[in-house]
């Protein structure tokens, strides 16, 4: 059993200027002399949790958390329709991670993330393997267009009534076309009420997908204040509408670049948002990685899934 640690608050907070008008909020927790690790939040656009961490040994880890571009406490915020989303791509986020690592004087670090954070972790590690000591990811996705299409169309076969509400929330002329582009437009609309309505409709679909899972949490996605909802949906629609600017299958194709980097993947058997096939394929292509499929879990996680993630973090703290 791996117990949770006492709540750990940040010992350092700051903003990193990216040089292109963006400022990224970051914080450090634990031991300033400990093993460096970085947590990559999901979404994209979910922002870093504002609660203390309890999964990381505060005596052994130096944990870095930050809000990715245009969300959370980073500025400018995507809830403002005037924000240029062209400055927010996977390439930008990878460069931000490197910029933050250099700013903090870190040579190598463990990279951790879940959902979108898992895709970003793998993309970063494949581009900068010399900077990554280990990878621990959960609710695995690689942001393939086939995975994105599954989440925003394929799952409709399990939740047809909820999907029709999701589809019918965009203008009628756009319902048979690119729904993600339609939502991207609505969340950038000059009328705040339009933006908020679109965000609520998108998040109602996300909530419906996880609601049928074991341990599904009602309102898991929509429990955000209005600006955070709009930013989350706008960034998601922007990234997924462009296939996260990755070649189809790129992260699995290039997994050989991760050889020598220990990786632990933890995934729920009943994850409707990101079916386990992706985690299976990534683990098969990643030399030396370990995959745990958790029988009582979906995308929302479970006690067992959380325990396996903590065990991996514990395993690597002295490495």
Active site residue ranges: 115, 271, 299
Structure tokens at 241: 């509408």
Strand ordering across the sheet containing 109-115: 10-17, 23-30, 61-66, 35-40, 109-115, 132-140, 263-268, 290-294
Name the burial class of residue 288, with classes exposed (0-12), middle (13-18) and buried (19+) by CB atoms within 10 angstroms of its CB: exposed
User: How many other C-beta atoms can be found within 10 angstroms of the C-beta atom of residue 25?
Assistant: 19
Beta carbons within 8 Å of 106's beta carbon, 6+ residues apart: 36, 62, 64
Query: Which residue, among 178, 299, 295, 180, has the nearest Cα to 235 in the 3D structure?
Result: 180
Q: What angle do CA 188, 193, 195 make, to 5 degrees?
A: 25
């Amino acid at each position: 059993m791996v117990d949770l640690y006492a709540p750990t608050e940040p010992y350092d907070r700051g903003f990193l200027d990216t040089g292109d008008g963006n400022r990224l909020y970051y914080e450090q927790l634990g031991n300033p002399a400990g093993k460096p690790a970085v947590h990559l939040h999901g979404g994209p656009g979910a922002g870093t949790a504002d609660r203390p961490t309890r999964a990381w040994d505060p005596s052994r880890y130096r944990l870095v958390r930050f809000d990715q571009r245009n969300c959370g406490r980073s500025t400018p915020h995507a809830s403002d329709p005037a924000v240029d989303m062209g400055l927010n791509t996977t390439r930008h986020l990878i460069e931000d991670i490197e910029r933050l690592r250099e700013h903090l004087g870190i040579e190598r670090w463990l990279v951790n993330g879940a959902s979108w954070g898992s895709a970003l972790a793998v993309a970063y590690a494949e581009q900068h393997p010399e900077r990554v000591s280990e990878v621990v990811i959960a609710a695995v996705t690689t942001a393939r267009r086939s995975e994105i299409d599954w989440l925003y169309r394929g799952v409709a076969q399990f939740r047809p009534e909820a999907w029709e509400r999701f589809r019918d929330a965009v203008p009628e002329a756009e319902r048979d076309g690119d729904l993600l582009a339609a939502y991207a437009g609505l969340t950038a609309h000059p009328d705040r009420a339009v933006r908020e309505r679109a965000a609520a409709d998108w998040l109602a679909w996300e909530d419906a997908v996880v609601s049928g899972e074991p341990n599904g949490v009602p309102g898991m996605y929509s429990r955000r204040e209005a600006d955070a909802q709009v930013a989350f949906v706008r960034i998601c629609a922007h990234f997924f509408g462009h296939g996260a600017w990755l070649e189809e299958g790129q992260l699995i194709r290039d997994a050989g670049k991760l050889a020598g980097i220990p990786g632990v993947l933890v995934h729920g058997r009943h994850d409707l948002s990101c079916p386990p096939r992706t985690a299976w394929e990534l683990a098969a292509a990643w030399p030396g990685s370990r995959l745990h499929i958790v029988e009582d879990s979906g995308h929302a996680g479970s006690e067992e899934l959380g325990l396996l993630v903590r065990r991996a973090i514990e395993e690597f703290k002295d490495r």
